[in-house]
Amino acid sequence: MQLNKYLQLLRTLIEQLVTENINELLKLFKSSFGIVQKDINSMLLSYIVDGKLSVSKKQRYKLLKKLDKTLLKQVKELGKKDIEVTTKILNETASESYYRTAFIMESGQDKPIDVKPLKSNEMKAIVNTPVKEEMFSDRIWKNKKKLVKQVRYSVEQALINGTDPKKLAKEVKRIFGVSTYESERLIFNEVARVHKQAQDQVYEQMKVKKVMFDATLDKKTSKYCREHDGRIYEFGKHPNIPEDSHVGCRSDIIPVVDGWKPTVQKENIKNEDRVKPLINYSNYEEWLKHKRF
């Protein structure tokens, strides 16, 4: 199997970190929607006349003020949990991407590569790299403010126009669904960024000179990725994924390494018997033990 296929499998493994850790956040979104919807129904129940809302301007102000209290409380909890879950996923992504990439690269070369342990401050720098001058936490709170604004606007318009409460309920559900999707998309996009940055640190230590843009070619492939597929770049001057490509990019940056081939190799360091032990590179955990990471 070629190097790009191994790195594609690694990317799939990294994406599984999201699906394994995101359920708690998705449950909270569902719970928050239920609470907000219940409060809206409770507030509006006595103002339904012939299946439509009938609310005076004075009553409207009181109802919106009450709704604001519920919304802000739920969004605060959602934002905190979103940042907590995202941070956990990105930390795991940085570590797994770094060491597993080093494992893959070393497994196909004649000699062990000199890769240093990933320090906590280096991991923090990778995770907290701003994109377009915004941290991932900034974008999380921006999405939550958008959620509050859209729900409040929908309820306000329903009160003004006397909308059918059932129609309002569908709209609020739609808004929460979009916000949930945006949170998932943000996490996957940040995972792609952290994954590539961690890999670049490995390639830099290996003194990789050239890299290739490797796109996943199918009906979903973007024009940008089709145009860049197979192009060779100097390392450090290659496109950054997903910042330079697009949200949800599935492409990879593959190091150009002559003679890379998975094999069983000898460790450079001799053991107590003055023998360089063989390393079974089919076992990642054994490799970690040998490296003492």
Predicted structure pTM score: 0.85
**Each residue of 141-156: pLDDT tens digit?**
999 999 999 999 999 9
Domain locations along the chain: 3-207
* Least confidently predicted of 3-12, 92-101, 117-126: 3-12
The pLDDT > 70 percentage for the chain reads 91
Half-sphere exposure of 95 (CA within 13 A, CB side): 13
**Each residue of 223-235: pLDDT tens digit?**
999 999 889 999 9
What pLDDT is attached to residue 239? 92
* Least confidently predicted of 107-116, 220-229, 239-248, 268-277: 268-277
pLDDT at 70 over 90: yes
Compute the mean pLDDT over every residue in the chain, rounded to the nearest whole number. Answer: 89
pLDDT at 275 over 70: no
DSSP SS3 for 118? coil
What pLDDT is attached to residue 279? 47
DSSP secondary structure letters along 169-238: HHHHHHHHHHHHHHHHHHHHHHHHHHHHHHHHHHHHHTT--EEEEE---STT--HHHHHHTT-EEETTSS
Task: Report how far residue 56's alpha carbon sits from residue 276's, in angstroms, rounded to the nearest whole number.
Answer: 85
Instruction: Identify the residue whose tokens are 């919304």.
Output: 71
pLDDT at 174 over 90: yes
